[in-house]
Amino acid sequence: MLVQDLREIAIFVAFITTNMKQHLKRWIAALLISPLFISCHRTGETDLSLQVNTLDPGFTISNQIIGLSYETSTLLPRKGVYYFNPQNTELLNVFRTLGIKHLRLGGNSVDEASIPQPAEADIRSFFEFAKAANFKVIYSFRLKEGDPLYAKNTARFILDNYADQLESFAIGNEPSYYKDYALYVSKWTAIRDAILETCPQAVFSGPDQNPDAERLKLLADDFAQGQGPLVQLSQHNYPFGCSYVNYKEHDVSKLIPRDTLLRRNDLLSDSAYTIYREVRDGMLEAVKGKKLSFRLTETNNLWYSGLEGVSDRYVSALWGLDYLHWWSAQGIAGLNFHTGDSTGGAIALPCRYAVFIRSDQGLEARPLAYGIKMFEQGAAGRILPLKINSGSASQLSTYAYLNEDNELLITLINKNNLPSASFETTNQLSDSTNKKNRLPINNREERPPVHNRTVSISFDREFSGAALLEMKAKDNYLGALATDISLGESGIETDGKWKGQWKKLKKPAVRKQIITLELEPASAVVLKISLN
């Protein structure tokens, strides 16, 4: 009987061993990359140690940082229905949820002769919405083949009825089609002077041009003073270039998209700051010694309506969050993310980089909306310096503020992400003009990220409590759709509302005047700390 039992046991063990072998490697691999294993394995280690200086706060950031940019054609009714309608509760909700305080109207459609200019009824519906949503407006007039009489009458209507909502008028969009500066100025002043005939109190912003430091400075020098002054320098910026290799192709069905994975890498590369600094330096030089603010009145990641698989994926949320914080620290008046259901003039495409779009179910928040919302929750008041005591901050962005309620707001963005097997992350921007990058979306898969980062933050003052808000995507995947993104364990609903929650931090995360956090790859957190 004993021999028979032993035989049965041996057969059973052989069966289990045979079936386990084929899964053993996969099981071990899964264990090694699991957050639990990493957390246990890295206990006691700190990748980065930061010190917050609350006693030396900097300037107060603008309260109009978060803005949107729309095509002027959005004001025109579609099938008798206005996009901007004060009774559109979902749209009002999402503006309030995201903290939208500024809106610029312009885009390619403002200078497109084939598109009608808005009538008074169209403008009224828009400004009634602006009043209900409580944001300021830059209203653009046509420059190319512009009509001075239309501009004069429309400006008078706006100032008579909606002066409290108007920040400034603008003239034209990306006017580099006038190569000669003198010709451009003559066209620009013709529209401006017509407006001033009946609206001497009018003020202007401009030139709404792609980065051009020379033209910025010329315009600032010429028009920063006098009647109808320029009060703000406005510039456009799409730091990662065009979404398509062959952007001059007029047949949109033949457009060749740029490489998806390389562009995702670009958005999170620390080398992107080099581009930002160059744009900033040109603007600061132009406003030096003048009473001029500066704003990016049209911006997003990749121009030509964005790149599918990049501009409409989770990576754009992390990028947008970092982009807002970085520019806020430069003293900018604000950023207006170009958006809409579609964007363009004579050629209009579905808007891949949209903050949100309309759908049959209501409003569909895109990933960028999550980055904007997280910024709205974690940026207010005076900028605070953060000092690195030890470790490397590569691929980790850190920002701190002291708000009016004596609360510290600290944002940490972990941009670390294990590269695809098909290319190496060099922390350098890819060649945006590389015409070899023609592979279709999802042609290559990224391996899951494996790096958690432990960050400790020490404070020079005692605090009574701390809470955390986290943004992440399912499986930490940069290519995740908005439906797989959570902010405070919640999404932005189709009615435009967000019901996310802050989590109270307890020991062992909080010890004396030190907070230690473990950040997942491709994630971001905001800390809110109540100072004593």
User: Is 333's pLDDT higher than 50?
Assistant: yes
Contact of 219 with 207, CB cutoff 8 Å: yes
How far, in Å, CA of 48 to CA of 263, rounded? 27
Tell me, what's the pLDDT at 425?
Answer: 40
Q: Name the residue ranges covered by the structural domains of the chain.
A: 37-57+382-531, 66-378
How far, in Å, CA of 427 to CA of 202, rounded? 46
How far, in Å, CA of 301 to CA of 315, rounded? 11
Tell me, what's the pLDDT at 431?
Answer: 54
The residue type at 378: G
Fold annotation for 66-378: TIM Barrel (3.20.20)
Q: Can you spell out the DSSP letters for 296-342?
A: EEEE-SSBTT--TTTTTSHHHHHHHHHHHHHHHTTT-SEEEEE-SSE
Tell me, what's the pLDDT at 508?
Answer: 63
Instruction: Read off the pLDDT of residues 164-182 as tens digits, 9 standing for 90 and up.
Output: 999 999 999 999 899 999 9
Confidence tier at 360 by pLDDT (50, 70, 90): confident
How far, in Å, CA of 454 to CA of 517, rounded? 6
Tell me, what's the pLDDT at 442?
Answer: 41
Q: Which class for 240: exposed (0-12), middle (13-18), buried (19 or more C-beta within 10 A)?
A: buried
Which residue spans within 332-429 are E strands per DSSP? 334-338, 342-344, 348-350, 356-359, 362-365, 382-383, 386-391, 396-402, 407-414
Dig out the tokens for 236 from the structure: 């456009």
Confidence tier at 429 by pLDDT (50, 70, 90): low
User: Is 19's pLDDT higher than 70?
Assistant: no
Q: Which of 36-40, 46-50, 71-75 has the largest mean confidence? A: 71-75
Confidence tier at 37 by pLDDT (50, 70, 90): very low
Q: Which class for 269: exposed (0-12), middle (13-18), buried (19 or more C-beta within 10 A)?
A: buried
Secondary structure in 3-state letters for 142-187: CCCCCCHHHHHHHHHHHHHHHCCCEEEEEECCCHHHCCCHHHHHHH
Which residue spans within 424-462 are E strands per DSSP? 453-459
Confidence tier at 418 by pLDDT (50, 70, 90): low
Instruction: Read off the pLDDT of residues 257-294 as tens digits, 9 standing for 90 and up.
Output: 999 999 999 999 999 999 999 999 999 999 999 999 99
The residue type at 144: K
How far, in Å, CA of 26 to CA of 22, rounded? 8
How do 453-459 and 514-519 pair as beta strands? antiparallel
Tell me, what's the pLDDT at 3?
Answer: 41
User: Is 376's pLDDT higher than 50?
Assistant: yes
Pick the more confident residue, 264 or 37. 264
Q: What proportion of the chain, given as a percentage, has pLDDT over 90?
A: 74
Tell me, what's the pLDDT at 137?
Answer: 98
The residue type at 189: T
CA 367: distance to chain centroid? 9
CA proximity to 322, closest of 236, 393, 392, 382? 393
How do 136-141 and 48-52 pair as beta strands? unpaired
The structure tokens 């140690």 sit at 49
pLDDT average, residue stretch 35-57: 65
How far, in Å, CA of 508 to CA of 247, rounded? 53
Pick the more confident residue, 438 or 335. 335
pTM of the shown model: 0.87
User: Is 144's pLDDT higher than 70?
Assistant: yes
User: Is 446's pLDDT higher than 90?
Assistant: no
pLDDT average, residue stretch 416-423: 53
Tell me, what's the pLDDT at 532?
Answer: 87
What's 419's DSSP letter?
A: P
How far, in Å, CA of 67 to CA of 62, rounded? 11
Instruction: Read off the pLDDT of residues 178-235 as tens digits, 9 standing for 90 and up.
Output: 999 999 999 999 999 999 999 999 999 999 999 999 999 999 999 988 777 899 999 9
User: Is 32's pLDDT higher than 70?
Assistant: no
Mean pLDDT of the chain: 87
Q: What proportion of the chain, given as a percentage, has pLDDT over 70?
A: 85
How far, in Å, CA of 325 to CA of 367, rounded? 17
SS3 of the chain: helix, strand, coil, percent, to 5: 35, 25, 40
Neighbours of 341 (CB within 10 A): 17
Contact of 176 with 209, CB cutoff 8 Å: yes
How far, in Å, CA of 333 to CA of 284, rounded? 12
Pick the more confident residue, 324 or 417. 324
Dig out the tokens for 440 from the structure: 């279709």
How far, in Å, CA of 255 to CA of 248, rounded? 9
| CA count, 13 A, side-chain hemisphere, 74 | 29
Tell me, what's the pLDDT at 482?
Answer: 98
The residue type at 216: L
Confidence tier at 420 by pLDDT (50, 70, 90): very low
Instruction: Read off the pLDDT of residues 449-461 as tens digits, 9 standing for 90 and up.
Output: 457 899 999 999 8
The residue type at 142: R
Instruction: Read off the pLDDT of residues 383-392 as tens digits, 9 standing for 90 and up.
Output: 999 999 888 8
Tell me, what's the pLDDT at 428?
Answer: 56
The structure tokens 């639990």 sit at 36
Tell me, what's the pLDDT at 9?
Answer: 43
Dig out the tokens for 55 from the structure: 């006693």
Tell me, what's the pLDDT at 89?
Answer: 96
Tell me, what's the pLDDT at 204?
Answer: 97
Instruction: Read off the pLDDT of residues 483-496 as tens digits, 9 standing for 90 and up.
Output: 999 999 999 999 99
CA 382: distance to chain centroid? 21
User: Is 159's pLDDT higher than 80?
Assistant: yes
pLDDT average, residue stretch 38-61: 75
For the domain made up of 37-57+382-531, the CATH class stated in words is: mainly beta
37-57+382-531 against 66-378: fold identical = no
